[in-house]
Structure formats: structure tokens, C-alpha cells
Amino acid sequence: MKAALAVLMLALSPLAFAHNCPNVMKEIDAKLSSASGLSAETMERVRQLRAEGERLHKAGDHDESMRQLEQAKALLGA
């Protein structure tokens, strides 16, 4: 029984990770609306990374989506 539960949890963990993309996008959007002190180039790069993250999320590539979104967050200092 414990082994079956462990296998189920491992199988579902990528789904939980995948569903985090929208939460990170919301976090970036909130930071973008109140961001100050960042150069126009940095803001544009954040917007590009956020858009690419959303595109990848919609395409089902959640690992790469999260990589792009985490880069955007790092640029925002989040």
C-alpha cells in the first residue's frame, strides 16, 4: 500500500509543478505593476521571459516554462 502511494505521488508531482506556472506568472505581473528602479531594457527582458514562459506553459513544456519564469523573477529581484 505504501509503495503504491509513493508511486502515485511521484506520478502526480509533475502535474503539481506544471500548475505552478500560472501562479508564477501572476507573481511576475504583480511585481511588474509596482516595479521601480529597473531599466527599460530590464523591464522589456522580464516581459519577454514572462511571455515565453506563458507560451511554453500553453504548449505543455512546463519545465522550460518555469525556467523562463524564474529568470524573469530573478531580474525583478523576486
The answer to the question of residue 27 being in a domain is: yes
* Torsion of the alpha carbons at 59, 40, 23 and 51, rounded to the nearest 10: -10
pLDDT at 66: 96
Spatial separation of the C-alpha atoms in residues 29 and 22, rounded to whole Å: 10
C-alpha cell at 10: 511521484
**Domain of 66?**
18-76
The answer to the question of residue 11 being in a domain is: no
Please state, as a whole number, how many other Cβ atoms lie within 10 Å of the Cβ of residue 53. Answer: 26
What pLDDT band is residue 37 in, cutting at 50, 70 and 90?
confident
The answer to the question of residue 70 being in a domain is: yes
CA 1 to chain centre: 34
Average model confidence (pLDDT) across the chain: 83
Would you say residue 17 has pLDDT above 70?
A: no
Number of domains in the chain: 1
